[in-house]
Amino acid sequence: MEFNEPLNTIPRIGDMAPDFAATTTQGPLKFSEYNKGSWVIFFSHPADFTPVCTTELTLFAQEEENFKKLNTKLLGLSIDSIHSHIAWINNVKKNLDVTMRFPLIADIDMKVSKLYGMLQPGESETAAVRAVFFIDPTGKIRLIMYYPLNVGRNMDEIIRVLNALQATDVHKLACPVNWKPGAKFIVPPPKTVKDMEEREKSNYEMVDFYLARTSV
């Protein structure tokens, strides 16, 4: 593998996603090329042939077409060999009738896991935690989720926040608690007295000058 960033870096929201080259179940992958022009949900799982991971990745596979409608690609990773990945994919297909068509990185040397802070010694020194990185088409990390080894992720929440990130980019508004597509947005608070006075004359749904809602 080739890397452009130091291995001890843990990316943060707002950082550009570290680039890397890796071996995957769909062949060699250069992240910057894979990310070009689309969102990427990059997620890690602790190990192949484990029950919680199987429930998670089968659901990712079942939702892949819905992610594509949101201009989003999936990319998985675990600290397993490519042979383990392929055998697991085959096992899931035979037993659950679900095919994982998105690429799974074989990070047997742990380099990508360390690059993205997916290997957290307080949880495990040999298995990646359940991390989820939301990376926009410019390559910027927009949201990060971390789950421990024994708690599976919430797919509805992953899809909800992806919709929210994309909607706020388009409308330049904010999303309130529990926002879902179709719900009202929050208008950013005024920055000047003039803005505040104009807001009071607007058609926004006003709670007070700093809290206003609107539909689009």
Q: What are the residues whose beta carbons fall under 8 Å from the beta carbon of 201, sequence distance 6 or more?
A: none
Both 188 and 121 in one domain: the answer is no
Percent of residues, the chain, with pLDDT higher than 90: 83
Both 149 and 204 in one domain: the answer is no
Active-site residue identified among 17, 40, 41, 53: 53
Q: What is the pLDDT of residues 128-153, one digit of tens each?
A: 999 999 999 999 999 999 999 999 99
Band of pLDDT at residue 125, cut at 50, 70 and 90: confident
Q: What average pLDDT does this structure show over 88-109?
A: 97
pLDDT at position 6: 44
Both 141 and 190 in one domain: the answer is no
State how far the Cα of 72 lies from the Cα of 45, in Å rounded to an integer. 19
Both 44 and 121 in one domain: the answer is yes
Q: What average pLDDT does this structure show over 95-103?
A: 97
Q: Is residue 62 in a domain?
A: yes
Contacts 24+ apart (CB under 8 A), 1-4: 1/109, 1/111, 1/112, 3/111, 3/115
Number of domains in the chain: 2
Handedness of CA 25, 111, 36, 155 (dihedral sign): positive
Residue 192: which domain range?
A: 172-214
Q: Is residue 161 in a domain?
A: no
Number of CB atoms found within 10 A of residue 73's CB: 18
If residue 114 lies in a helix (H) or strand (E), which one and from where to where?
helix 111-115
* 53 given a catalytic annotation: yes
Q: What is the pLDDT of residues 66-85, one digit of tens each?
A: 999 999 999 999 999 999 99
CATH number at 190 reads 3.30.1020.10
Handedness of CA 75, 81, 83, 89 (dihedral sign): negative
Both 33 and 132 in one domain: the answer is yes
pLDDT at position 7: 44
Confidence check: pLDDT of 5 > 50: no
pLDDT at position 126: 87
User: Nearest Cα to 160, choosing from 147, 173, 146, 179?
Assistant: 179
153 within 8 A of 102, measured Cβ to Cβ? no
Both 207 and 113 in one domain: the answer is no
State how far the Cα of 166 lies from the Cα of 142, in Å rounded to an integer. 10
pLDDT at position 4: 54
